[in-house]
Amino acid sequence: MYVDHEQVLRTPNLSLFLAEHYDAVKARFPDEGRRKWRLRVAEMFWSLSAEDKDAYLTKISQNPPDPDSIVNADFGLNRAPLDDITDNSPGRGFVLRTDYSDEDAWQAFHARLRDAEAELIKCEHESDSEDDDANMADADTEAPSAAHAAASSSTDAGGDSAMDDEDAEDSEDDDDDDDDDQDFEDDHVRVGFPIFYVINAKSPDKRAMLSGISNLAALRLLNDVDVQRAPNPPQGTKRIRPPNRLVDHHGWQEVYFGKSLWIYDAKSNEDQCVRVVSQKGAALYGTATGDSWRARVSHICELLLHMEAGRMTIDFGGMDRWDWAERARNMEEAVRPVT
């Protein structure tokens, strides 16, 4: 399972509620997998009254769970469909193809993505080479003992690489055993680009499963659900009515963690952009988990790196400029029973 350590350390969250109810849900639906079991437990949480949610907030605030117990719990370690993709694939984010109507447009998009990745990686390698040259120049002036230590470190790194190679072979063997994952492909793996992993369904049934899906459906497929406190509404602003778990339900908000999602949809055939999906609402009250905006393929590699490093936050200057149609679709789907 992909672990977001910031999510683990943040409280309040769903961890104590999962600890109390996850095993019973798992026993009742033994074939579904971790993500679906977590969704079912979250559904139980949303059915609580406002008073019961307040009591849970008091409980978890006064007795926050140990982070190690969260990471090592079954609700964090059990397998789920597509885990071999979400856990073992290279890349820092997923480009998820959800439209298969225009292969030429897709190939053009894919080529632009690969070019953008290659250019960014080339720049990073050139920067690393300059740093290495500077370090080598410094090493020439080091005392013999320091130079010997540097050589020892290099040998140790080689040993780690050999171990990594063994792990990679084990991962490949695991992939061969997972029929679901064989229905997807990613050309980036073969050329070694590490920024995005492209999920491109091969089989007709998997293409049908992904075609036109919402941001929320994609999050539930590839990320794990959790909850957090919703932002407080500005003074003089009422809470949304009716309440919705993606925005604010009794002061709580449904959120997701895992690798970020960038969705290629039918509109992408024309504008060569993707939907950049939010795993939680922004700090601006009224924004929602699953909100999205469109970014051009030529920009998304650098954008992802800046967002991950905390150098960029998308807030549109305090204006709510996310895609309203996608938000409405997500909010409507969020209140449907988990089946």
Question: Is residue 168 included in any domain, yes or no?
Answer: no
Task: Say whether both 111 and 8 belong to one domain.
Answer: no
Whole domain around residue 58: which residue ranges?
Answer: 1-81
Task: Say whether both 73 and 210 belong to one domain.
Answer: no
Q: Which residue has the tokens 């109507």?
A: 101
Task: Say whether both 316 and 246 belong to one domain.
Answer: yes
Question: Is residue 60 included in any domain, yes or no?
Answer: yes
Task: Say whether both 6 and 91 belong to one domain.
Answer: no
The residue type at 96? L
Question: Is residue 219 included in any domain, yes or no?
Answer: yes
Q: Which two tokens stand for residue 47?
A: 């059915």
User: Are 291 and 204 within 8 A, CB to CB?
Assistant: no
Task: Say whether both 120 and 3 belong to one domain.
Answer: no
Final residue in a domain of this structure, among 51, 81, 111:
81
Final residue in a domain of this structure, among 46, 81, 116:
81
pLDDT in tens, 1-10: 555 545 545 6
d(CA 58, CA 7): 19
Angle at 329 between CA 81 and CA 91, to 5 degrees: 40
pLDDT in tens, 186-206: 554 444 457 999 999 999 999
Task: Say whether both 110 and 1 belong to one domain.
Answer: no
pLDDT at 167: 37
Say how many domains are in the chain: 2
Task: Say whether both 201 and 109 belong to one domain.
Answer: yes
Task: Say whether both 121 and 264 belong to one domain.
Answer: yes
Confidence of residue 273 (pLDDT cuts 50, 70, 90): very high
Task: Say whether both 97 and 47 belong to one domain.
Answer: no
d(CA 284, CA 143): 56
Q: Which two tokens stand for residue 311?
A: 């150098």
Final residue in a domain of this structure, among 23, 50, 81:
81
Question: Is residue 187 included in any domain, yes or no?
Answer: no
Question: Is residue 155 included in any domain, yes or no?
Answer: no
pLDDT in tens, 17-32: 999 999 999 999 999 9
Task: Say whether both 29 and 117 belong to one domain.
Answer: no
d(CA 107, CA 272): 11
The residue type at 156? D
Task: Say whether both 274 and 262 belong to one domain.
Answer: yes
Task: Say whether both 23 and 120 belong to one domain.
Answer: no
Confidence of residue 12 (pLDDT cuts 50, 70, 90): confident
User: Are 286 and 302 within 8 A, CB to CB?
Assistant: no
Given phi > 0 = left and psi -120 to 50 = alpha, else beta, which region is 328? alpha
The residue type at 158? G
Question: Is residue 178 included in any domain, yes or no?
Answer: no
d(CA 80, CA 299): 32
pLDDT at 125: 60
pLDDT in tens, 83-103: 999 998 999 999 999 999 999
